[in-house]
Amino acid sequence: MSSIVKREHRLADGRELIYFDDADTTLAPDRKPDARVLDPRPETATMRQDPLTGEWISIAAARQNRVFLPPADKDPLAPASAANPSEIPDNYDVAVFENRSPSFGPDVSESYTEQDLRRIGLGRTLPSIGRCEVVCFSPEHEGSFGSLTPSRARTVIEAWADRTAALSALPGVAQVFPFENRGEAIGVTLHHPHGQIYSYPYVTPRTSRLIESIERFGPDLFQSILDFEGASERVVLRGQHWTAFVPFAARWPIEVHMLPHRHVPDFAATSTEERDELAGLYLTLLRGVDALYDTPTPYIAAWHQAPVREKRDEIRLMLQVTSPRRAANKLKYLAGSEAAMGAWIGDVTPEQTASALRTAIETAGTSTP
């Protein structure tokens, strides 16, 4: 079997387009050029500081006009045809390209110091430098990561590792975040199986809170969590290199975390063996999440990675899959306590969720071809 191959191209407006061919691909190496005539890319958005929290909010008004749930024959992530001049000019296995209307970027020419970002003031603005990329998992119109073949899943993981390394090297990028939104209940605007990668000009609020916890607990927080959860009844999957578990203090009705057994700060630092095992374990996990009910489960699959320039010896790569689905026909909405105060109330015990997921994973394993 040949290895996964990366092929670099450009779209008509200069954006990067990268094809990742499966190890067992049937595609020819050549790709058609992008023959469209495109308007210039929008200017880099502006972010504004909230003086109550110090957090930065990117105001990306160009995103208001993005495509919303198009029919299959107008899918912007499908391979281009005469009737559908999409974002991807030719057939593909996995394709990654710069978002046409990004929340951050396309400017990455400068970087911000911690002093730039932490100072509190009124009416403070900065350019939303960074990069946003779309990762297309398949040329098919519908599906998700869980519907991929093992070979294709491995290709996506290779793309995440490649892009993490490349984006981390850009001068304006402070943190790289691969993720998948799945389901209209989450707010998905395209049914096409895809994820995204955001490259932020700052360390995100969630990671900043994590850094505070590490400073209070100690640098071995992640290994301690793995040891604690690994000995609990909340483990749902365990391999040679990875363990998945429902966390002790889960917020969401469905919430699963996955950690590598050795310390790696991001995808770029994972080994071939870790990526190989992850392809199968991750498919098993997501198929189990879908097997909980008779219809597909909406979720956010978030790959938390260490910042580019700090705490890389202490923050470990971690998957967090969360879903608001609390019953077959019920969703958890973030109302007063959660949305306004950030004070969460759980609807289901983590131990119950873990038991249900283990059963669903077993069911999915017997029914998946």
The residues that are catalytic are 194
In the DSSP assignment, the letter for residue 336 is I
Q: Which residues contact 331 (CB under 8 A, 6 or more apart)?
A: 185, 298, 324, 325
In angstroms, what CA-CA distances link 324 with 110, 111, 194, 295, 298?
Answer: 38, 36, 20, 14, 7
Tell me whether the omega of the peptide bond preceding residue 106 falls within 30 degrees of 0, making it cis.
yes
Q: For the CA atoms of the chain, what is the radius of gyration?
A: 20
Within 8 A by CB and 6+ apart from 81, the residues are none
Q: Please answer whether residues 199 and 176 qualify as being in contact, where contact means their C-beta atoms are separated by less than 8 angstroms.
A: yes
* Torsion angle of C-alpha atoms 8, 35, 73, 63, degrees rounded to 10: 70
Q: Angle at which helices 150-168 and 272-290 pack, to 10 degrees? A: 120
